[in-house]
Amino acid sequence: MGNILAFGGFALIAYSSFSFLNFKAPVDGDVLATCDSEGAYGETCISEESYDVEKKVRIKGSSDASWKDKVTNVKETDTVEFRIQVENTGDEETDDAQTDDTLPSEMTKTGGAGLTENWGDFGAGDTKEFIIESKLKASEFTTTVKFEKCVVNKVDLEVDGDFKGSDTATVCYNNADVEVLPKTGPLAALPLGISGAVMAALGGLLKRKK
């Protein structure tokens, strides 16, 4: 039939001109690929690598504590929390997973996890979570011109140095509470009686010139 050679926990089965490498038996902590038996020829094993990365946002201390894709009406004093969740949805383990979070320039980090996080021992079905705290910069609210603005926070996932995915969350804010004076001429700032007298005097001068 053929020869069987054993070495290093593996079995190499030689049959005519065909050879197949059969994986060793599992031990605690191992995650093996899905294998189909090929009878006397050994097994065919397929290994899948898959990861899911998710970014959500909420306003810390808000009555609505749910995580969302976007928050609105964020105030200068609000603390914004970004949650990053990474799940190993494949069947391979890695010792080198990393997230890189990019805050928009309008925001600054105030606490929580790091903008870059690296970890290992990340097996199939494992989930990792990080929460970053941040605030909008005070300079975003100095203008007296009313505005509405949205900025985007992004996270990238790398495994063994290779890009595996990304996700975003959005923060929207405005200065609707700012009182903007109407655009008027200099006489509009005068009390009604004074402005009326000025207009009457100007009328009299015009009449005398005729």
Whether residue 185 lies inside any domain: the answer is no
- The β-bridge partners of 38 are none
Q: Within this chain, do residues 92 and 146 fall inside the same structural domain, yes or no?
A: yes
Cα 88–Cα 93–Cα 98 angle in degrees, nearest 5: 65
Q: Within this chain, do residues 164 and 68 fall inside the same structural domain, yes or no?
A: yes
DSSP string, 26-52: P-TT--PPEEEE-GGG-EEEE----EE
User: How far, rounded to the nearest angstrom, does the alpha carbon of residue 135 sit from its chain's CA centroid?
Assistant: 15
Whether residue 194 lies inside any domain: the answer is no
Global pTM value: 0.66
Q: Within this chain, do residues 76 and 156 fall inside the same structural domain, yes or no?
A: yes
pLDDT tens across 22-49, in order? 433 333 333 445 666 666 667 677 778 9
pLDDT of 73 higher than 70: yes
Q: Within this chain, do residues 57 and 152 fall inside the same structural domain, yes or no?
A: yes
Whether residue 191 lies inside any domain: the answer is no
Whether residue 189 lies inside any domain: the answer is no
Q: Read off the pLDDT of each residue in 150-156 and give the average, rounded to a whole number.
A: 98
pLDDT tens across 169-209, in order? 999 999 987 665 555 555 444 454 444 454 555 555 545 55
Q: Within this chain, do residues 33 and 113 fall inside the same structural domain, yes or no?
A: no
Q: Within this chain, do residues 128 and 32 fall inside the same structural domain, yes or no?
A: no
**Polymer length of the chain:** 210
Q: Within this chain, do residues 37 and 69 fall inside the same structural domain, yes or no?
A: no
- Residue 117 belongs to what domain range? 51-174
Whether residue 198 lies inside any domain: the answer is no
Q: Tell me whether residue 128 is exposed, middle or buried, using C-beta atoms within 10 angstroms of its C-beta: 0 to 12, 13 to 18, 19 or more.
A: middle
Could you give the percent of the chain with pLDDT greater than 90?
60
Q: What is the pLDDT of residue 178?
A: 60
pLDDT tens across 117-136, in order? 999 999 999 999 999 999 99
**Which candidate, 86, 102, 103, places its Cα nearest to that of 158?**
86
Sign for the pseudo-dihedral over CA of 70, 113, 102, 109: positive
Q: Within this chain, do residues 138 and 98 fall inside the same structural domain, yes or no?
A: yes
Taking the CB of residue 18, how many other CB atoms lie within 10 A of it? 12
